[in-house]
């Protein structure tokens, strides 16, 4: 059976990828459906780990998407599916490089591995594959593939993923999954039992601070490129403002991923995106 989504792509994205969906609304109307197709594809492969009971079943689902890409990048018909069909149309209309989408699938295959990442570098490689490559594909749709924009997308994508993983610590711990790198945990004197205890502690906050600082450094590197970024690239990069706001709130909580203000959606997200768009900042 193919993966499935809700009846309409935007409805699903509003629920599960709200901030990035809101950012796409600043793109020209003719680009929005293709951006939504990319976000929906990302959502489909991102939740593979959540809907399978065994890694082999997750591999089968991911292979379904690899086979779909074979069709989309070929000359023949493409399977009909609420996400696959518009994704194939976007691929063919915008000439999205296949290596970007392949990397996203390969990155999600790592979700099927129960072992935590060995180092921060390994986690950032995962974030690059699963998040930064998505932003780079969005830049292709937006016609904003200048080197500076692509580099900024790499940093923003990695920062976004790190912030998302911090916010997901309670969820992952409840599922007995750990994304905090081994070296980061060791530096914080954080043990597996501490992570899986489903409550904050000093060692967990120390580890989270390391991840937050890495995300902040990525945002700083992205913003250093701001003068060389075309306005057309902003719908892909605007979520950096949401990530930065989350990092500020995280610092105010003492880097507690369980704090309500971290677990709740940012109530000012739409306003932050609008002001950032008006100021041409991310």
Residue 279: pLDDT band (50, 70, 90) is very high
Q: Which residue is it, tokens 């002001």?
A: 275
pLDDT at 7 over 90: no
Checking phi first, is residue 23 left (phi over 0); if not, alpha (psi -120 to 50) or beta?
alpha
| Helix (H), strand (E) at residue 39 | helix 32-46
Alpha carbons 190 and 118: distance in angstroms, whole number: 14
pLDDT of residue 5: 38
Token pair, residue 91, equals 């691929």
80 three-state secondary structure: coil
Encode pLDDT of 57-82 as tens digits: 999 999 999 999 999 999 988 889 99
pLDDT of residue 53: 87
Q: What angle do CA 119, 212, 247 make, to 5 degrees?
A: 160
Q: Where are the domains positioned within the chain?
A: 9-279
Task: Read off the DSSP letter of residue 92.
Answer: H
Encode pLDDT of 232-270 as tens digits: 999 999 999 999 999 999 999 999 999 999 999 899 999
Encode pLDDT of 184-233 as tens digits: 999 999 999 999 999 999 999 999 999 999 999 999 999 999 999 999 99
Residue 8: pLDDT band (50, 70, 90) is low
pLDDT at 44 over 50: yes
Can you name the CATH fold of 9-279?
A: Farnesyl Diphosphate Synthase (1.10.600)
pLDDT of residue 10: 75
Cα 74 to the chain's mean position, in Å? 27
Residue 251: name the closest of 221, 215, 282, 222 by CA: 215
Encode pLDDT of 129-157 as tens digits: 999 999 999 999 999 999 999 999 999 99
Residue 6: pLDDT band (50, 70, 90) is very low
Is the separation of the CB atoms in 225 and 156 below 8 Å?
no
Residue 4: pLDDT band (50, 70, 90) is very low
Record the pTM: 0.94
């Amino acid at each position: 059976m193919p993966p499935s989504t809700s009846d309409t792509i935007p409805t699903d994205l509003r629920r599960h990828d709200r901030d990035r969906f809101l950012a796409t609304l600043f793109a020209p109307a003719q680009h929005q459906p293709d951006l939504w197709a990319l976000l929906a594809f990302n959502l489909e492969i991102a939740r593979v780990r959540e809907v399978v009971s065994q890694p082999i079943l997750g591999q089968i689902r991911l292979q379904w998407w690899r086979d779909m890409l074979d069709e989309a990048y070929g000359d023949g018909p493409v399977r009909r599916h609420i996400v696959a069909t518009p994704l194939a149309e976007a691929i063919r209309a915008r000439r999205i490089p296949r290596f970007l989408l392949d990397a996203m699938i390969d990155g999600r295959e790592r979700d099927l591995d129960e072992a935590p990442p060995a180092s921060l570098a390994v986690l950032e490689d995962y974030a690059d594959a699963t998040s930064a490559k998505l932003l780079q594909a969005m830049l292709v749709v937006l016609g904003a593939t200048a080197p500076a924009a692509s580099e900024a997308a790499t940093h923003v994508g990695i920062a976004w993923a790190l912030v998302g993983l911090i916010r997901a610590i309670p969820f992952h711990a409840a599922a007995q999954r750990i994304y905090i790198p081994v070296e980061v945990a060791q530096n914080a004197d954080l043990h597996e039992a501490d992570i899986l205890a489903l409550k904050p502690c000093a060692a967990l906050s120390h580890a989270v601070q390391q991840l937050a600082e890495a995300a902040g450094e990525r945002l700083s590197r992205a913003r250093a490129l701001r003068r060389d970024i075309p306005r057309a690239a902003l719908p892909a990069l605007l979520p950096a403002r949401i990530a930065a706001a989350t990092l500020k709130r995280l610092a105010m909580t003492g880097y507690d991923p369980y704090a309500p203000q971290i677990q709740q959606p940012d109530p000012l997200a739409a306003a932050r995106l609008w002001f950032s768009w008006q100021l041409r900042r991310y």
